[in-house]
């Protein structure tokens, strides 16, 4: 029999707390799976950001600042999640790209794990949209192409971000955009603990992220989320959640997105808006399959990209299939009408001849 959950008051590490060679200075942010601190690296004498693994649904902090599960049955899940958090940190530490947050190290303490990252000066893209309003196309293209460069490096290493949204994109003081707060470990934990709806962000997560296992996701998953982020910047609202959009037929789902984007055609070029719409297709096979393919669509409107050809072919085949289906139905109706006419003629002949 499972133990009754022990309520542990969630709390952050206090200012001044010594964590190995780091001193906690303030709390930068909190989420369902972690707490991020601003800290001083006393060895290298620089400021860093430290993310603490803290899945609030299954754990909290005790009076001695150690992380404890709310009951014993969840301890293995905490260890399992912590291992994936550490694995994610080790993977990210291998990347040294201007558009990806730099991970310096990862270590275990207080029954949990900590990821040490570069501390960047600037604001999140979410905050920037609130402060400055709708960006122009040139500004969005600059931001988008930089993030695509970062994603290309990640995807080549078979790593997917899985949680791109305005709050997880940081704009440095020089205008460079960087990807923060990767969601791969959270996605794995969500699948294990059956809390996927708390892991994904409505409006920014594609359909396959709600109901597909991690191995069903790929570059097209990040492309959808980044497309949704740009959609938000253009329209002021995120797109309709993919779980609702998936109820529509293909053309209805496309039009639902395109009709909103088209309202801003005086401010943004049609080919740019079309590239964003392609990224938001409900069916992942209809999206650009790589960031290289999507970059081509964004950079050169004169190029008939693989995506455009694939979609055109798909649309043609769909229409051809519908046309063939209609023809078959028409031929069937004609055959039935002819048969009925013949039967009627036979009855008339018999009636006239014998009656």
CATH code, domain carrying 36: 3.30.200.20
Span of 43-52, 74-83, 290-299 with lowest mean pLDDT: 74-83
Residue 306 lies in a domain: no
Helix, strand, or coil (residue 9): coil
Neighbours of 105 (CB within 10 A): 15
339 part of a folded domain:
no
Going by pLDDT thresholds of 50, 70 and 90, the confidence category of residue 137 is very high
What contacts 24+ positions apart, CB below 8 Å, involve 177-180?
Answer: 177/99, 177/125, 177/143, 177/146, 177/147, 178/98, 178/99, 178/100, 178/101, 178/120, 178/150, 179/99, 179/100, 179/101, 179/147, 179/150, 179/151, 179/154, 180/101
Q: Residue 249's pLDDT is what?
A: 64
Say if 6 falls within a structural domain.
no
Q: Do the domain assignments include residue 11? A: no
* % of residues, the chain, pLDDT over 90: 57
Please tell me whether residues 46 and 143 are part of one structural domain. Answer: no
Number of H helices, E strands in the chain: 12, 11
Question: Dihedrals φ, ψ of 166, to 5°?
Answer: -55, -35
Residues 291, 210 share a domain: yes
Q: Sign of the CA dihedral 63, 64, 66, 68?
A: negative
Q: What is the pLDDT of residue 197?
A: 42
Residue 334 domain-assigned?
A: no
Asked if residue 309 has pLDDT above 60, the reply is no
Among 281, 300, 319, the domain boundary falls at 300
**Average pLDDT for 282-298:** 93
Residue at 235 is within a domain: yes
Q: Is the pLDDT of residue 301 over 80?
A: no
Distance between CA atoms of residues 322 and 314, nearest Å = 12
Q: Are 216 and 208 in contact (CB under 8 A)?
A: yes
| Highest mean predicted confidence (pLDDT) among 78-87, 139-148, 345-354 | 139-148
Q: What is the predicted pLDDT for the residue at 73?
A: 84
- Residue 325 is predicted with a pLDDT of 57
**47 shares its domain with 111:** yes
Residue 157 placed within a domain: yes
Return the bridge partners of 177, or none: 171
CATH number, position 193: 1.10.510.10
Residues 83 and 161 in one domain: no
Per-residue confidence (pLDDT) for residue 346, from 0 to 100: 63
Q: Which domain holds residue 293?
A: 124-300
User: Reduced to 3 states, what is the DSSP secondary structure of residue 79?
Assistant: helix
**Strands (DSSP E) found in 45-129:** 46-53, 59-61, 67-69, 103-109, 112-118, 122-124
Residues 70 and 49 in one domain: yes
At 252, is the pLDDT very low, low, confident or very high (cuts 50, 70, 90)? confident
Residues 141 and 274 in one domain: yes
Q: How confident is the model at residue 71 (pLDDT cuts 50, 70, 90)?
A: confident
Do 101 and 153 lie in a common domain?
no
Residues 177, 109: Cα–Cα separation, whole Å: 31
Q: Are residues 62 and 149 in the same domain?
A: no
The answer on 128 and 72 residing in a single domain is: no
Residues 80, 134, single domain; the answer is: no
Using the predicted structure, report yes or no on whether residue 212 has a pLDDT greater than 90: no
Average pLDDT, the chain: 84
**pLDDT grade for 184, boundaries at 50, 70 and 90:** low
Residue 66 lies in a domain: yes
Indicate whether 52 pLDDT > 60: yes
Q: Is the pLDDT at 227 greater than 60, yes or no?
A: yes
Question: Taking Cα atoms as reference points, which of 275, 280, 269, 281 lies closest to residue 294?
Answer: 275
Over residues 82-110, the mean pLDDT reads 94
Task: Please tell me the predicted confidence (pLDDT) of residue 210.
Answer: 84
Give the count of domains, the chain: 2
Domain end among 54, 83, 118:
118
Q: Which of 92-101, 156-165, 177-186, 309-318 has the lowest mean pLDDT?
A: 309-318
Of 283, 300, 317, the last residue of a domain is 300
pLDDT at 312 over 50: no
64 and 167, same domain (yes or no): no
Q: Model confidence at 1, in pLDDT bands (50, 70, 90)? A: very low
Tokens of 28: 């930068």
- In sequence order, the 6+-apart residues with CB closer than 8 A to the CB of 293 are 305, 306, 307
Q: Write down the H helix ranges in 10-162.
A: 75-92, 125-132, 137-156
Do 294 and 237 share a domain, yes or no? yes
More confident residue, 178 or 302: 178
Nearest 5 degrees, angle CA 23-CA 29-CA 34?
Answer: 85
Tell me if 278 sits within 8 A of 220, measured CB to CB. Answer: no
Strand order in the sheet with 18-19: 18-19, 22-30, 34-41, 46-53, 112-118, 103-109
What confidence score (pLDDT) does residue 114 get?
97
What's the pLDDT band for 317 if we cut at 50, 70, 90? Answer: very low
């Amino acid at each position: 029999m499972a133990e009754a959950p022990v309520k542990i008051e969630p709390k952050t590490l206090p200012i001044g707390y010594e964590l190995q060679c780091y001193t906690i200075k303030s709390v930068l942010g909190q989420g369902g799976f972690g707490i991020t601190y601003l800290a001083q690296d006393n060895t290298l004498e620089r400021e860093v950001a430290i993310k603490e693994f803290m899945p609030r649904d299954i754990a909290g902090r005790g009076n001695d600042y150690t992380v404890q599960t709310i009951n014993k049955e969840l301890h293995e899940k905490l260890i399992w999640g912590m291992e994936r958090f550490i694995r994610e940190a080790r993977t990210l530490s291998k990347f040294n790209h201007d558009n990806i947050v730099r991970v310096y190290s990862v270590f275990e303490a207080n029954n949990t794990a900590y990821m040490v990252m570069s501390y960047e000066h600037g604001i999140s893209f979410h905050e920037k949209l609130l402060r400055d309003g709708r960006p122009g196309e040139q500004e969005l293209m600059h931001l988008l192409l930089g993030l695509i460069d970062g994603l290309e490096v990640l995807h080549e290493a078979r790593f997917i971000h899985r949680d791109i949204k305005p709050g997880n994109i940081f704009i440095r003081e020089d205008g460079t955009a960087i990807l923060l707060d990767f969601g791969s470990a959270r996605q794995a934990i969500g699948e294990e603990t059956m809390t996927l709806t708390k892991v994904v962000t409505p409006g920014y997560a594609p359909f396959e992220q709600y109901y597909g296992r991690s191995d069903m996701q790929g570059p097209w998953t990040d492309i959808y989320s980044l497309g949704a982020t740009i959609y938000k910047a253009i329209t002021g609202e995120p797109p309709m959640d993919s779980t609702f959009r998936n109820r529509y037929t293909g053309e209805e789902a496309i039009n639902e997105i395109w009709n909103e984007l088209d309202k801003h055609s005086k401010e943004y070029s049609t080919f740019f808006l079309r590239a964003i719409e392609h990224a938001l297709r409900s069916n992942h096979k209809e999206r650009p399959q790589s960031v290289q393919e999507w970059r081509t669509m964004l950079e050169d409107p004169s190029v008939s990209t693989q995506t455009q050809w694939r979609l055109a072919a798909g649309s043609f085949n769909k229409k051809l299939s519908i046309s063939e289906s209609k023809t078959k139905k028409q031929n069937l109706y004609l055959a039935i009408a002819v048969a009925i006419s013949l039967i009627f003629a036979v009855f008339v002949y018999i009636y006239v001849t014998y009656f």
